[in-house]
Structure 1
Amino acid sequence: MKPLAPSDPVGAVTALWLLPLLIGGCLAAVLVYKAAHGIAAAPWRALILIGYSLVGALLTDLIAGPGIGAYSNSHFWPLLPCFWLVTSAVALAAAALQAVVGRMGTLLVAVLFIVVGGPPAGGLGTYLLPVYWRNIGVVLPPQNAVTLINHVLYFGGSDITTPLVVLLVYAAVGTAVIGWYGRIRPAREAARAGDREGDAAASANSAVNPGGRRRPLTGILVALGVCAVMQCLFATTYMSAEHAPKATDLPFGAVGSSPVLTAAEKSISLKVTRYQDEAAAKSAIDRAELFGALVTSGTTTTLIVVPSISDLAPLDLAVRFEAAAKATGTKLTVQQYAPTPLAAKDPFGLVQGLMLLPLIIGGYMASTLLMAATGRAAGRWRAAQLAGFAVMSGLIVDLIVCYWLQGFPSEKFWIVWPICSLIVAVIAFVAAILQKLFGPIGTLLTVVLMVQLGNPSSGGASGVPYLPAFWRDIGPYLPPRNGYLLLHRSIYFDGHGTGQALTTLLIYLGVAAAVLIVLDLRRSEAEVPTDATEAAAMAVPIGASP
């Protein structure tokens, strides 16, 4: 009744929009706070964030719509105020938290809007969420943002009163709190002290601008420029990689001859390999070489789909081959086959893709926090400290996903632990090198390399054949894809097809460790003036993916 557009065939656009809008709002509040030397309550801050939100919303809209073509141009203007409201609500609420609790507000913003607010956003539908996540999400901006954008994009703007009210309340309360702490409260305190009107104004200005310093306009503009670049990059990378997944040379097996295969190839790009019998085709599936197979024997035609190799391919293949069977007048049977079935609590094979992001974030956050805690991006034992963290964090992630969430079979626990630790160590070592060479800006470079380029090019749960050509080509050279393949095939395909991924990660690990040790021993540097709380909070917003 409401068919999806060819530019958005799986309805992924709504969830992909949320990432740049949330990160744009959070990061703007954090960077302006830092650029203003920790002045969280200046009355002009609300105006700056509202203005930036409009610019960020416009850039995101231009990139996703006319730029990438993720939706028709007729949706450009209806979506622009939605994007503006979402970014403003997040930025103003974040700034208000910083005004109330100071530096800890930065960390609180990341936890509340990204760590807690991201999972219940409901990009795939709020009623597919567990009840507790659904109830939490109702009162937070991310879920209301998804609902607002979804209903405007797909349903003509119907039933958007609740998300509009919630987001407007966040924006209004945030503005009021900033105004209270920035002007009204200092003025009242000065008046109660009995100062003259001029002294009260000076006192209020001093509260806004400690030490009589000029408002750091240049620093704020630079910070907002960095924020705009990061927001645009997130909008570009994730949207271009995932908004319209389409198979290219999907590995596929064929046994016997059938007109169904010829007809299906008109609507889906397959890389067909012929096999002598069904057992040979299933053996290739066991080795993670095929995403499906068509077996023709006499009057029987069976399509074998593999739910553990891709969340999208089984449905995609079934739809294409059923249409082909109908067109050719052939009776088709669809059969599921997987060497290791998906876990009961992960029926779509999403766990490995979801595991990858916290491993990436944990890696570069470990290096960032170590730099912040020591005040230097160097240290004789830095590599050993990061390696120890990788071992422990890999164990914790493995325990949570395997035993608490039951996301994969428990017999895979011992092989998953070293893989998780390897991924964390590689990311941490690369981040440490970049931070050693470029200082705190190395964290941003790590995010660009591993999160903005590496994560979209990993292929995720859908699989590498569903990526556009650019993302397919760069993925093999970056740790995220190799980490994902190593995790996925170790869990569901008994380690088949992991040689190249494992070798690549080990090369990264060995080279990065050697370079890091040499840099730490031979180079000296000035102290890095970064507070640990701020470093942690900045690392989460620019790396999290709801």
Structure 2
Amino acid sequence: MTTEAHAADRRRPPLIAVITLLTAVLTVFLIAFAWPSARSEPRNVPLAVSGPAPAVAQIQAGLEQAMPGGFEITAVPDRQAAVQRIEDRDAYGAIVLDAAQPEVLTASAGGPAIAQVLTQLSTRMSAENSGNPAKVTDIVPLPKDDPRGAGLAAGALPLVLGGIIAAAALTQLVRSGAQRMIGAITFAVTGGLALAAVLQYWLGSFEGSYLGNAGVIAMSIAAISLTLLGLEWLLGTAGLAFGGAVMMLLGNPLSGMTSAPEMLPSGWGTLGQLLPPGAAGTALRSVSFFDGAGAARPLVVLACWLLAGVALCGLGALRSRGRAVPARHEASAVAA
């Protein structure tokens, strides 16, 4: 027993290696979650501007000087056109250069952080034109029960954890691969219905169709859990750990649900929208507050992840079958 204990002790890594690894993991978690927020600022935010051409050019130059690269300006003929672009999710807000009273249009439901930036912009416009203060109008406001959008922002983590926990539990508790897939899909449906009910009917964070909101959440959970199940089927525990780390350390911080994809560091916001949490967040905003406008692309992304998860599970099943056939032949030979 003493010899075995000494051998086990020799196989254990030294204490300094364990501490170094834990420190590295902690640092990675801090960077993943704090860096996007610390570097959050407008980057090519779509903004509509209505007014005379010289005034539009002046506003564009002023915005570029104040926030270089912060806004992507599109000139529109009138206020109605600006409102339409906001409702279609082609712009986060608009500036209407009316001679009587300038107006800044926001859509806090599309991104509270950007709406706050535009509100601050209206304050600056009012200071520059003290005799003609700018008016602020929220075209698509957040619900009265959740005026800061805290419920939707906090919902990003449960979406990711739901998929990861489902995959981890099913791989440990269910032996059949087919039953794991059925379990993941069933859990995604029940989880989507439950989370949507809490966010919409209890916290008041959602509006629009309850089934539509639940469907988006279910697609997100299913996309994550099926992908992780497929990776585990193919690569074992390492595949499950790798997939979970990608969803947690990249998908969640880069989802843009706490601000907007255009507020994240350049390139990272785009990457976040190609992962299930980011696509789910954008689709939820579109379905809940904008009657589905702008939901097509994120729903396609979620559908692609769903298909990828099913494909990975299929490859895992083929690999398992390929391993089972030689094992059966070997057992038959030994019996003979």
* TMscore range, shorter length: 0.7 to 0.9
Q: Which residue in 2 is equivalent to 1:367?
A: 167
Q: Which residue in 2 is equivalent to 1:289?
A: 90
Deviation at 1:485, TM superposition (A): 0.7
Secondary structure at the counterpart of residue 274 of structure 1: strand
CA distance 1:304–1:252, change in 2 (3 Å)? same
Residue-by-residue CA offset, 1:270-328 (whole Å, 9 max, x unaligned): 11111111111101111112111111222321111221111111221222342244235
Deviation at 1:262, TM superposition (A): 3.8
Q: Which residue in 2 is equivalent to 1:235?
A: 30
The answer on 1:438 being equivalent to 2:239 is no
Secondary structure at the counterpart of residue 116 of structure 2: helix
Q: Which residue in 2 is equivalent to 1:80?
A: none
Letter in 1 for 2:254: S
The answer on 1:263 being equivalent to 2:68 is no
Residue-by-residue CA offset, 1:445-490 (whole Å, 9 max, x unaligned): 1232111111222112311111111312322322221111111111
Q: Which residue in 1 is equivalent to 2:114?
A: 313
CA distance 1:222–1:364, change in 2 (3 Å)? farther
The answer on 1:406 being equivalent to 2:201 is no
CA contact (8 A) 2:125 2:134 kept: no
Task: Give the gaps of 5 or more residues in structure 1.
Answer: 1-201, 527-546
Secondary structure at the counterpart of residue 228 of structure 1: helix
CA contact (8 A) 2:163 2:225 kept: yes
Task: Give the gaps of 5 or more residues in structure 2.
Answer: 325-336
Letter in 2 for 1:246: E
Secondary structure at the counterpart of residue 95 of structure 2: strand
Q: How many residues align?
A: 315
CA contact (8 A) 1:267 1:320 kept: no
CA contact (8 A) 1:255 1:296 kept: yes
Q: Which residue in 2 is equivalent to 1:515?
A: 312
CA contact (8 A) 1:401 1:408 kept: yes
Q: Which residue in 2 is equivalent to 1:245?
A: 40
The answer on 1:335 being equivalent to 2:136 is yes
CA contact (8 A) 1:253 1:274 kept: yes
Question: In structure 1, which of residues 506, 515, 540 is the aligned counterpart of residue 303 of structure 2?
Answer: 506
Letter in 1 for 2:270: D
CA contact (8 A) 2:252 2:277 kept: yes
Distance across 1 between alignment mates of 2:149 and 2:38: 19
CA distance 1:244–1:367, change in 2 (3 Å)? same
Distance across 1 between alignment mates of 2:145 and 2:105: 23
Distance across 2 between alignment mates of 1:219 and 1:515: 37
Secondary structure at the counterpart of residue 136 of structure 2: strand
Letter in 2 for 1:407: S
Q: Which residue in 2 is equivalent to 1:181?
A: none
TM normalised by structure 2 equals 0.84
Distance across 1 between alignment mates of 2:6 and 2:14: 17
Deviation at 1:265, TM superposition (A): 3.5
Deviation at 1:222, TM superposition (A): 6.1
Question: In structure 1, which of residues 301, 304, 329 is the aligned counterpart of residue 105 of structure 2?
Answer: 304
The answer on 1:425 being equivalent to 2:222 is yes
CA contact (8 A) 2:112 2:149 kept: yes
Q: Which moved more, 1:319-328 or 1:268-277?
A: 319-328
CA contact (8 A) 1:383 1:517 kept: no
Deviation at 1:256, TM superposition (A): 0.3
Q: Which residue in 2 is equivalent to 1:396?
A: 194
Q: Which residue in 1 is equivalent to 2:332?
A: none
CA contact (8 A) 1:303 1:332 kept: no
